[in-house]
Amino acid sequence: MSRYADFYRRSIEAPEAFWAEQAQLIDWQTPPQQILDAGNPPFVRWFAGGTTNLCHNAVDRHLAARGDQPALIAISTETGTERSYSFKELHAEVQRVAASLMELGVGKGDRVLIYMPMIPEAAFAMLACARLGAIHCVVFGGFASGSLASRIDDATPKVVVSADAGSRGGKVLAYKPLLDEAIRQSSHKPEAVLLADRGLAPMALTEGRDHLMAALVQKHRDAHVPCTWLDATDISYTIYTSGTTGRPKGVQRDTGGYAVALAASMKHIFDGRAGETYFSTSDIGWVVGHSYIVYGPLIAGMATLMYEGLPTQGMDRQPDGGIWWRLVEKYKVTVMFSAPTAVRVLKKQDAALLKKYDLSSLRALFLAGEPLDEPTARWISEGLGVPIIDNYWQTESGWPILTVANGVEQTRSKFGSPGVPMYGYKVKILHESTGEELSGANEKGVVVIEGPTPPGFMQTVWKDDERFVDTYWKTVPGKLVYSTFDWGIRDEDGYFYILGRTDDVINVAGHRLGTREIEEAISGHAKVAEVAVVGVADALKGQVAMAFVVPKDAAAASDEKTALLLEGEIMKQVADQLGALARPARVRFVSALPKTRSGKLLRRAIQAVCEERDPGDLTTIEDPGALQQIRQSLSA
Ligand code: AMP
């Protein structure tokens, strides 16, 4: 048996012994009393009775051995700034922000919503919450007021941490007006707002509520704030993710299990070592940013590189398609993590840029978030000359479900496949309707995970255990299994291939969006009667959203000019409510949408027509002419 096969088998057959061993990778204030409690499925409690702290493991425990080594390297090609913080400096910064939050009344269990661009203060704020035992809830800075307001209402934060603005491609995006509007819309009102001022956009401060971070941090310059020891099962954070309803779910994570899962993944999967530099190009608004910009690398004693900017813009804000490779050379990055879309963007640049810099420090490039197509994988693999490691996971899992564990044993990757199940994950493929296990090679079914789920996996949906069970664990009749909502197959060697979502979630440039959320934003428009949003294959972004709208009054889109005007209004409405990311690539007008006789939208058929595929079985369609209209609207 191969070394990995044995490692995997132990994790499944003797999970307690296996994870007790992995738990040694982190510091505990009190050792765990019970490694695994799976007595109330599908809920799992890992390391109960053990007390620890994420911030202690990410920062404090490294002070003795590597206090002067870099911990956080913050680079912005948007503002042309580059700043490195040692573990000692990070320790001081985090305590200053922690003291500021305490002054605003934040303590254990309180929620702090973080709505910030990729600046070091965002990482300080996350670590400060962890230090105090407060629950952070980071909302991606590209989301707009409507998305933010619904998250404020669900998380009911005591404090919001934000900034004057973000910037993308030289374009300043003011956050403060979006935040003010969100707080105006939400029924819950945070007591205080803590604001980093980058000098990018003017801010109107609300007396008594808004505080400038610089002033509070200055006041608490010499703050000493000890870590609050938390039970392993206490909540560390929530992060919202899209599903099939218009209402995003708060994915809730524990403390001890998450710390152990990350420490183990840094060793066995990413093979990142203390003293080295990790560079993830993601954003703190996504789960990758939580696990592999902030916590994972720091827990492993690595420096983490935090990057604000496009992959094609230099420090002087001039075009530079080699900026990431320049940074790899400069900071001797050993492990890099990005998304297929970013590589497809780079593919449009001169390939010679990959050879211009000394990339000898780099051991591997990890790509995740969306399917990695073979031409993209080959192009970057040949260009960099290092292994390209596809890894498949979800916001819900917190760390990779399928990949290869080169830290355990060098394992061959196959183009097109993220790899094999990671230790701790019982991954199965089930028949869509019968729920029967498909164990043969190349049989297509739904990818599911059998409990108990490993450490780091979501505990529940924030404040809604019932929704957690109903949404994820009850999709297969008669079986309590977790559905990933992805189609997959497994080949004869046990490698999995992911074939897209089974639900109405789409993936735009590696970002997960619910088509229902976009539909809700569009149906709010006064001139819209009905709408269907589908994800359509796109050469650069993987998928883009496309909207088909039935106007209330046919005249509203009767000629090209009025249609164009209405398309613009609808796009703006989505961007204003949800953010530019969710804006459909195109809006087309039709007089009816294809539905079944029972009134269910035939999204898969619409999608197939958009992608010029066979729409499949249409026996249940109410009006075949509606599909024909979709086809015609595309060529219009
Ligand atoms: P998120 O929760 O935003 O990370 O999105 C998770 C979803 O992205 C998964 O359910 C998949 O549909 C997709 N996904 C993530 N990583 C991969 C990958 N390596 N290959 C294919 N699809 C992926």
Domain that holds residue 594: 509-635
Q: Tell which atom from ligand 1 comes closest to the C-alpha of 485.
A: 10
What would the pLDDT profile of 298-351 be if each residue is shown by its tens digit? 999 999 999 999 999 999 999 999 999 999 999 999 999 999 999 999 998 888
What would the pLDDT profile of 591-629 be if each residue is shown by its tens digit? 999 998 888 888 889 999 999 999 888 888 888 899 999
> Is 488 inside any structural domain?
no
Which residue's CA is the nearest one to ligand 1's atom 20?
A: 371
Which residue's CA is the nearest one to ligand 1's atom 4?
A: 394
531 shares its domain with 405: no
> Is 420 inside any structural domain?
yes
Question: 221-225, 293-297, 618-622: which range is least confident on average?
Answer: 618-622
556 shares its domain with 427: no
Overall number of domains in the chain: 2
246 shares its domain with 368: yes
> Is 196 inside any structural domain?
yes
Of 473, 491, 518, the position where a domain reaches its end is 473
292, 397, 486, 489, best to mutate for ligand 1 pocket (most atoms within 8 Å of CB) = 486
Contact between 338 and 310 under an 8 Å Cβ cutoff? The reply is no
Mean pLDDT of the region 193-202: 98
Which residue's CA is the nearest one to ligand 1's atom 15?
A: 369
Which residue's CA is the nearest one to ligand 1's atom 19?
A: 392
278 shares its domain with 190: yes
347 shares its domain with 442: yes
> Is 484 inside any structural domain?
no
466 shares its domain with 597: no
413 shares its domain with 524: no
Q: What are phi and psi of 384, to 5 degrees?
A: -90, -30
Selected residue with higher pLDDT from 180 and 555: 180
464 shares its domain with 514: no
517 shares its domain with 408: no
* For residue 462, pLDDT beyond 80: yes
Beta bridge partners of 497: 489
Q: What is the pLDDT of residue 557?
A: 84
Mean pLDDT of the chain, nearest integer: 95
Q: What is the pLDDT of residue 623?
A: 87
Helices (H) and strands (E) in the chain, counts: 20, 32
517 shares its domain with 439: no
In angstroms, the CA 87 to CA 67 distance is 5
What would the pLDDT profile of 236-260 be if each residue is shown by its tens digit? 999 999 877 778 899 999 999 999 9
462 shares its domain with 520: no
455 shares its domain with 527: no
> Is 500 inside any structural domain?
no
What would the pLDDT profile of 123-154 be if each residue is shown by its tens digit? 999 999 999 999 999 999 989 999 999 999 99
Q: Tell which atom from ligand 1 comes closest to the C-alpha of 396.
A: 2
In angstroms, the CA 596 to CA 573 distance is 29
> Is 93 inside any structural domain?
yes
What would the pLDDT profile of 373-394 be if each residue is shown by its tens digit? 989 999 999 999 999 999 999 9
Q: Output the domain CATH number for residue 526.
A: 3.30.300.30
Centre of ligand 1 from the C-alpha of residue 392, in Å: 6
Which residue's CA is the nearest one to ligand 1's atom 1?
A: 394
Cβ-proximal residues to 84 (8 Å cutoff; 6+ apart), any chain: 70, 72, 73, 74, 303
Contact between 583 and 546 under an 8 Å Cβ cutoff? The reply is no
* For residue 411, pLDDT beyond 80: yes
Burial bucket for residue 416 (CB in 10 Å: 0-12, 13-18, 19+): middle
Mean pLDDT of the region 197-211: 98
370, 487, 581, best to mutate for ligand 1 pocket (most atoms within 8 Å of CB) = 370
Enumerate residues lining ligand 1, CB below 6 A.
241, 287, 368-372, 390-395, 418, 484, 486, 498, 501, 507, 512
Which residue's CA is the nearest one to ligand 1's atom 6?
A: 394
Amino acid sitting at position 415: F
Q: Output the domain CATH number for residue 245.
A: 3.40.50.12780
> Is 495 inside any structural domain?
no
> Is 493 inside any structural domain?
no
What would the pLDDT profile of 507-556 be if each residue is shown by its tens digit? 999 899 999 999 999 999 999 999 999 999 999 999 999 999 999 998 88
Which residue's CA is the nearest one to ligand 1's atom 21?
A: 371
